Amino acid sequence: MNRPAFIDEAAFTQLLANGHRTAGGDHIDPQPVLKLFTPDASATWLLTEVDPDDEDLAFGLCDLGLGMPELGWVRLSEMAAFRSPRGLRIERDEHFTPDKPLSAFAADARSGGRIRA
């Protein structure tokens, strides 16, 4: 799989390491590795891991801007292929610094109806 432009080597290495820990049976609650967003819409993703058996599959908190953020799996290739109505791609928030584990982001997002990160 060609890695999407919004995931650099360091982030992918951490996502994969978290995926190996989960696949190995560890029950982890890591901080998000990266935050992705649509620049002209309300969608946001906080990703924590990549499936080591399918490196196109990532897990995290997903918010499509509909008021119902959920934990789940997404295909990186589909995210890389996405274009908004204005033709914009999904981008990485280069200034995002996580300050809590994914479960805390998820709890906040469920109570507020959107990811606050």
Half-sphere exposure of 108 (CA within 13 A, CB side): 12
Q: For the chain, what are the domain ranges?
A: 9-23+32-112
pLDDT per residue as tens digits for the range 99-113: 999 999 999 999 999
pLDDT per residue as tens digits for the range 36-80: 999 988 899 999 999 999 999 999 999 998 999 999 999 999 999
The pTM (predicted TM-score) of the whole model is: 0.94
pLDDT tier, 1 (very low <50, low <70, confident <90, very high otherwise): low
CB 33 within 8 A of CB 79: no
CA–CA distances in Å: residue 108 to residues 15, 45, 93, 104? 22, 14, 19, 6
